[in-house]
């Protein structure tokens, strides 16, 4: 499932339930990639860094949760950048263990799916704000798909780097393309 294909289809769609259904499917696919990566990492790897300017898997999850709660809480009625959010602190500290990290992950996704599932096709042309910048609901959803895919990609990359030869591919394994035709 290629994300670019889905995003292009989403942009081209009329304002129907199909847009909301496909958006949920795309968000679910990214959540699933993260879930599968988490199954492969060890507790001590979630707080590891690849370099001094990188983030750990745990910090990326902490950021995603903060973003999801901010963007999707009262989605249609308040700015997506909530005043009580302190984005900078999402990239500080460390989590105790993988269980705690997954709880944050699940809380963020639950908020997103609850808000998404409450939307109707006639909401898609409504205006919402993110950092006082106007977006249609449809634009805001596409913006979040792009943002979350970026960070899930980082999580998968880090998990794969930490597992090395023990990594089990989440898609078609390297050198196995012919088997999937």
Q: What is the pLDDT of residue 58?
A: 96
d(Cα 140, Cα 119) in Å, to the nearest integer? 13
Q: pLDDT tens for residues 83-121?
A: 999 898 888 887 779 999 999 999 999 999 999 999 999
pLDDT recorded at residue 9: 54
Q: From start to end of 111-163, where are the E strands?
A: 127-130, 133-136
pLDDT band at 5 (very low <50, low <70, confident <90, very high): very low
Per-residue pLDDT tens over the stretch 120-151: 999 999 999 999 999 999 999 999 999 999 99
Half-sphere exposure of residue 16: CA atoms within 13 angstroms, side-chain side: 7
* Domain range summary for the chain, segments of one domain joined by +: 3-164
CATH architecture of 3-164: Up-down Bundle (1.20)
pTM: 0.88
């Amino acid at each position: 499932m290629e994300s670019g294909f889905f995003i292009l289809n989403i942009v081209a769609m009329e304002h129907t339930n199909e847009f909301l259904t496909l958006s949920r499917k795309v968000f679910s696919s990214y959540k699933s990639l993260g879930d599968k990566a988490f199954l492969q990492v060890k507790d001590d790897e979630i707080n590891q860094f690849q370099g001094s300017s990188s983030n750990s898997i745990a910090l990326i999850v902490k950021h995603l949760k903060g973003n999801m709660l901010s963007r999707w809480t009262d989605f249609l009625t308040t700015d997506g950048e909530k005043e009580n959010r302190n984005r900078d602190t999402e990239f500080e500290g460390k989590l105790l263990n993988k269980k705690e990290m997954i709880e944050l992950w699940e809380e963020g996704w639950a908020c997103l799916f609850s808000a998404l599932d409450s939307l109707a096709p006639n909401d898609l042309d409504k205006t919402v704000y993110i950092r006082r910048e106007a977006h249609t609901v449809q634009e805001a959803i596409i913006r979040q798909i792009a943002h979350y895919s970026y960070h899930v990609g980082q999580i998968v990359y880090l998990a794969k780097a930490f597992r090395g030869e023990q990594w089990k591919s989440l898609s078609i394994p390297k050198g196995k393309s012919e088997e999937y035709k």
